[in-house]
Amino acid sequence: MKRVYLDNASTTPLLSEVVDMMTEVIRNHHGNPSSIHFFGRDARSLVEDARKTVASILRCSIGEIFFTSSATEANNTILKNAVMYNGITRIISSPTEHHCVLHTLEHLAEHHLVEVIYLEVDRKGNPNLDQLESLLSNDKNHTLVSLMYVNNEIGTMLDLQRAADICNSYSVPIHCDAVQAVGKLPIDLSKLNLSYLTASAHKFHGPKGIGFFYMNMDHIIPPYIHGGAQERNMRAGTENTYGISGLAVALNHLNQNHQENFDQVNDLRSYFKQQLVDHFADIRFNGNQEENYLPHILSVSFPPSDKVEMLMFNLDINGIAASSGSACSSGIESDSHVLQAIRHEPDRAAIRFSFSPWTTREDIDYVVEKLNGLTPSK
């Protein structure tokens, strides 16, 4: 059976260059980077080469990049320790953040009495940056702002430069969950002036179980995980050398073909949208469509019909992997927190299709063919 993978926002397949690099490290570079002998020094140089690659792509200094097990760990590290050690008592965020941010914020509100303010979002998922400005102008003390760059469910992209400029003008630290953006959009930290940024390798064709955060030296927080002196005392635990090397190879590869990849995915997305609109009735798209969107993510809203609940199931049995925008709790499907925040109509079905530079028009044609009969045609 043909299989089509359109769930790249969930995770991405490894690039063959990444597999080669990781295999080489696993086979031939088994040292512990903390050991002082040859094997240790050899592993250490791999880790530091990878850090250099990441720092040069993101235009920051190598001392500002710290490897972690995931973006989830990186986000927890920053948010929790900014509260625990840097005197943050108020966090301004948005209701469409990933659960690893939202649940951390809920924890901080409940157990550390942090005041959490969620910005209003419009029906495309754009947080209200005027509101951010007015909140900071009223009170900027002990405040941290945490906003994602690209929403993982609907692809809406934040005006990150403007958000950072607002925070900088009030000298308020800003954390950005850039998991869906790193490897897909150019990020120049020397211009953006963020305090913290987080990423996860498996979202950009690198391995699972490895991520990193950027921490600006004006906003240092202490370590979250205690133990050895790894990552310059910022993140204890023996480094995942093959993961770190794989991460750097993936980022480097994507960065080299950056504009080409973006344009290709954007063309594919337009093609898919056109096919859907041409063939099926009452198709809508969630999130920004004209500007400020990441083309890799397309959230399609299908009209109510007797088959709508079976859409995901039917795509799956036809070999098509996509993601439902519904969360199933105790057997009852309800729209995800993101779809609720953008007031998606609950009787419609939202499906997230997410692409990579390796997705083809044939893949799209196959999906359109299989959607016949599953959603009302024109």
- Residues marked as catalytic: 328
Contacts with ligand PLP by CB under 6 A: the residue count is: 13
Please report which helix (H) or strand (E) contains residue 354, including its range.
strand 349-354
Comparison of 44 and 202: residue with beta carbon closer to ligand PLP: 202
Quick one: which of 44, 80, 98, 352 contacts ligand PLP (CB under 6 A)? 98
H or E element, residue 4: strand 4-5
94 is a site residue for ligand PLP (CB under 6 A): no
Among positions 53, 70, 195, 230, the unique one binding ligand PLP when judged by CB under 6 A? 70
Residues 6 or more apart whose Cβ sits within 8 Å of residue 122: 128, 342
Return all residues near 316 (Cβ < 8 A) that are at least 6 apart: none
The interface region with ligand PLP, picked from 172-180, 263-271, 325-333, 338-346 by CB under 6 A, is 172-180
CB closer to ligand PLP, 4 vs 148: 148
Interaction between residue 100 and ligand PLP (CB under 6 A): yes
Identity of the residue, 79 or 82, whose beta carbon is nearer to ligand PLP in the bound complex: 79
Among 71, 108, 194, 297, binds ligand PLP (CB under 6 A): 71
- The residues, any chain, with a CB within 8 Å of residue 93's CB and separated by 6 or more, are 101, 102, 105, 116, 117, 118, 119, 145, 146, 147
Is 322 a binding residue for ligand PLP by CB under 6 A? The answer is no
Asked if 148 is part of the footprint of ligand PLP (rule: CB under 6 A), the reply reads yes
HSE toward the beta carbon, residue 45, CA cutoff 13 A: 7
- CB nearer to ligand PLP: pick between 118 and 271: 118
Binding pattern for the stretch 101-140 against ligand PLP, x by CB under 6 A and - elsewhere: ----------------------------------------
Should residue 199 be labelled a site residue for ligand PLP when binding is judged by CB under 6 A? no
CA dihedral 23, 28, 29, 35 (to 10 degrees): 150
For residues 75 and 96, what is the distance between their CA atoms, to the nearest angstrom?
Answer: 15
**37 contacts: CB under 8 Å, gap ≥ 6:** 31
Closest separation between CB of residue 68 and ligand PLP, Å?
Answer: 9
Considering the rule CB under 6 A, would residue 200 count as an interface residue with ligand PLP?
yes
Which residues in 102-227 belong to E strands, given as ranges? 115-118, 143-148, 174-177, 196-200, 211-215
Interface pick for ligand PLP out of 104, 126, 180, 323 (rule CB under 6 A): 180
Q: What share of the chain is helix, strand, coil (3-state, %, to 5)?
A: 45, 20, 35
Q: Least distance from C-beta 198 to ligand PLP, angstroms?
A: 7
Does residue 210 touch ligand PLP according to CB under 6 A? no
Choice from 53, 76, 143, 152 touching ligand PLP (CB under 6 A): 152
- In whole angstroms, what is the distance from residue 102 CA to residue 85 CA? 20
Strands 65-68 and 332-335, sheet pairing = unpaired
Amino acid present at 258 = H
Alpha carbon of 87 to those of 112, 141, 191, 203: distances in Å?
11, 9, 26, 32
Q: Which residue from 57, 77, 177, 249 is in contact with ligand PLP, where contact means CB under 6 A?
A: 177
Which chain residues interact with ligand PLP by CB under 6 A?
70-72, 98, 100, 148, 152, 177, 179-180, 200, 202, 211
